[in-house]
Each structure stands twice: as C-alpha cells, then as structure tokens.
C-alpha cells in the first residue's frame, strides 16, 4: 500500500469512527454530542474527496487515448 493509500485508509477509518460515535450517542439519547460527532464529517469528506480526486487525476493522466472519464456523484 502506497503512503497516500495508507493516509486515505486512515481517513476512511475516521469517517467510520465518527459515524459509529454519532450513532452510539444518538442511541444513548445524547443528541447534542451526536450532532457534534456529525459536525466533523464534512471535514473528513472533503479530505477524502481531495485525496481520491488526486488519485483519479493521476490515473487519467497515465491513460492513453482521448476518452473522457468524468466523476459522477
């Protein structure tokens, strides 16, 4: 696994941790702490989008041909 792949894996682990934490807090009736956990999700999402996007850009630059490869969300 490349260094960048390891970093991306860490961000995915953090994403899963935040979601689990928010769910646990919600199930315990701790709504404000659950919202606090969810408030961190956009930052993790942004980091994943940037790093995964860079990998896509690199892969597309390495491909030969004139085909267009878009990102569909």
Per residue in 52-62, pLDDT (tens digit) is 988 888 777 76
Number of neighbouring beta carbons within 10 Å of residue 25: 18
Q: Which residues of the chain have pLDDT under 50?
A: none
Say what the pTM is: 0.73
Domain locations along the chain: 3-62
Q: Give the whole-angstrom CA distance, residue 5 versus residue 18.
A: 20
């Amino acid at each position: 696994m490349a260094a960048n792949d390891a970093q991306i894996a860490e961000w995915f682990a953090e994403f899963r941790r935040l979601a689990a934490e928010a769910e646990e807090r919600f199930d315990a009736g701790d709504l404000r702490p659950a919202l606090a956990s969810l408030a961190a999700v956009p930052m993790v999402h942004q980091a994943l989008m940037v790093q995964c996007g860079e990998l896509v850009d690199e892969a597309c630059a390495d491909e030969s041909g004139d085909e267009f490869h878009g990102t569909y969300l």
